[in-house]
Amino acid sequence: MDVQQLADLLAGVRAGTVPADEALARLRRLPYAEVAGARIDHHRSLRTGHPEAVYGPGKSPSQCARIVAEMLSGSSGPVLLTRASPAQTEASLAACPGGAVHRPADREPEAADETVNPVDLATVVWRAAGARPERVVVASAGTADGPVAAEAAAVLSAFGVSAEPVTDIGLAGLHRFLAEIDTLASADVVIVVAGMEGALATAVAGVVPAPVIAVPTSAGYGAALDGVTALLAMHASCAAGITVVGIDNGFGAAMAAMRILDLAAGSNSGTV
pLDDT band at 224 (very low <50, low <70, confident <90, very high): very high
Q: How far apart are CA 50 and CA 268, in angstroms?
A: 9
Q: How far apart are CA 216 and CA 228, in angstroms?
A: 8
Structural domains of the chain in order of their starting residue, each with its CATH number: 31-128 (no CATH), 131-266 (3.40.50.1970)
**In the predicted model, what is the mean pLDDT of the chain?**
86
- For residues 126 and 21, the model is more confident at 126
Degrees to nearest 5, angle at CA 36 with 123 and 126: 30
Show the beta-strand stretches assigned E in the chain: 33-35, 38-40, 54-55, 79-84, 100-102, 122-126, 136-140, 163-166, 189-194, 212-216, 243-244
Give which of 33, 34, 80, 89 is closest to 60, Cα–Cα. 89
- For residues 117 and 240, the model is more confident at 240
Count of alpha carbons within 13 Å of 162, Cβ hemisphere only? 4
- Taking residues 144-163, report their average pLDDT: 95
128 φ, ψ to 5°? -60, 145
Degrees to nearest 5, angle at CA 187 with 231 and 212: 20
Q: How far apart are CA 93 and CA 124, in angstroms?
A: 9
pLDDT band at 60 (very low <50, low <70, confident <90, very high): very high
pLDDT(218) > 80: yes
pLDDT of residue 260: 95
What would the pLDDT profile of 61-120 be if each residue is shown by its tens digit?
999 999 999 888 877 789 999 999 999 999 999 999 999 999 886 555 554 444 555 556
Greatest mean pLDDT among 103-107, 116-120, 191-195, 264-268 lies in 191-195
Instruction: Find the range with the poorest average confidence among 39-53, 61-75, 147-161.
Output: 39-53
- Taking residues 224-239, report their average pLDDT: 96
pTM of the model: 0.82
- For the chain, the maximum distance between any two Cα atoms, rounded to a whole number of angstroms, is 67
- For residues 57 and 21, the model is more confident at 57
pLDDT(272) > 80: no
Give which of 236, 234, 254, 229 is closest to 244, Cα–Cα. 234
Three-class SS state of 176: helix
Degrees to nearest 5, angle at CA 188 with 185 and 189: 90
Cβ neighbours of 112 (radius 10 Å): 12
- For residues 216 and 16, the model is more confident at 216
- Taking residues 187-205, report their average pLDDT: 96
118: region left, alpha or beta (phi > 0 left; psi from -120 to 50 alpha)? alpha
pLDDT(51) > 60: yes
